[in-house]
Chains A and B, each alone.
Chain A
Amino acid sequence: MEHPILFINVILEALGLPVPHTITGHTLLEKLCTPYMTYTWLVMAFWIIVPKLTMGRLEIFPGKGQNFWEIVIGGMENFFAENMGRDRARMLFPFLATFGLYIVIANLIGLIPGFMSPTSNLNITLGMTIMVWLTHHVLGLRYHGLGYIKHFLGPMPLLIPLMLPIELISNAARLLSLSMRLFGNIMAKETLLSVLFMLAGAYFAPLPILCLGVLVSLIQALVFTLLSVLYCAQAMEHAH
């Protein structure tokens, strides 16, 4: 498969910075200029600049921009509060909402020719998954102390030798499944788009895949965020 042309890579190479052509670079500067790092910074810049520009001043009767962001942020907070309770949702809101919003835009920019999704790389998704996994264990330990082990023991004391290994393995599998789901979906979308461009780009062949790609991007962001919310909510509540 030939190398895709990425705008930020072209700009950085024109500026003289070393952009690696392998998956990760060798020196630190090369590792900082890899496409998924630079496109992550692009998404971060988007989320810093665009809300500032569109929101304007906060007023009692919201204008158009403020209305839109109120719907987005308020909707997300209600969604978290349904699963976790209002005050816990408020505590975890910056963490989980940042992931949700970042993943939505990161998935969507891969659809634009000349850009790539940073989430199509396992480093990005695994990093986010590790953060969520560690957070839900820390929350469980903080809310239950050593009694957190009761979450893994199952309904009856007789079943403990059966339930404990199964529960531990399925909990460890969350690391793998959460990262692989997002990575696999978005990488499959990018690969499919690049192959179709290469094969039949002049006949608008990627167009149905682009439509499917929008759907997949939004749904995968929703699924990642929802699963993170459910893991954290389950860790904080009493064992079933």
Chain B
Amino acid sequence: MDKLHIALICLAAAHSVGFAGLGAGIGMGHGLNGACAGVARNPEAKGAITTTMILGMALVESIAIYGLVIAFILLYANPFGGALGL
């Protein structure tokens, strides 16, 4: 059963990043949609819209980074590592 534990940890880590990336990808796509529409309507505001878009993208990406941090914690700093023998 030891291998099953390790396999489950690896699966959990992979799915953590996967699902977080899914949500972040959809969110950032929506943001980009709004930014492109804004620039298309008002090409003069390109600088302000681009800055706002970059800022919003970084904030949305941080949600995906939370998933990555959980994956790293599971793989490298597992709090149950002692009980599992890792």
Which residues of A are in contact with B by a Cβ distance under 8 Å?
Answer: 177, 180-181, 183-185, 187-188, 191, 219-220, 222-223, 226
Contact = CB atoms under 8 A, between A and B. Distances in A.
B58 A183 contact: no
Interface stretch (B1-9, B25-33, B34-42, B66-74): B66-74
A177 B62 contact: yes
Interface of B: 54-55, 58-59, 61-62, 65-66, 68-69, 72
B65 A181 contact: yes
B62 A188 contact: no
B58 A184 contact: no
Contacts, number: 32
A175 B38 CA distance: 33
B66 A220 contact: no
Contacts of A180: 62, 65-66, 69
**6 closest A-B pairs by CB:** A184-B65, A181-B62, A223-B58, A184-B69, A219-B58, A188-B68
Q: Is the interface of B mostly helix, strand, loop or mixed?
A: helix
5 contacts: A184-B68, A220-B58, A222-B58, A223-B58, A223-B59
Given A188-B65, A222-B54, 8 more contacts: A180-B62, A181-B62, A184-B65, A184-B66, A185-B62, A185-B65, A219-B54, A222-B58
B54 A183 contact: no
A176 to B, nearest CB: 9
Contact of A187 (B62, B66, B72): B72
Contacts of B59: 181, 223
A187 B73 CA distance: 12
B31 to A, nearest CB: 14
A222 B61 CA distance: 14
B62 A183 contact: no
A223 B55 contact: yes
B30 to A, nearest CB: 19
A188 B24 CA distance: 16
Contacts of A177: 62
A184 B54 contact: no
Nearest to B77: A23
Contacts of B62: 177, 180-181, 184-185
A142 to B, nearest CB: 28
A231 B18 CA distance: 31
A100 to B, nearest CB: 14
Contacts of A188: 65, 68
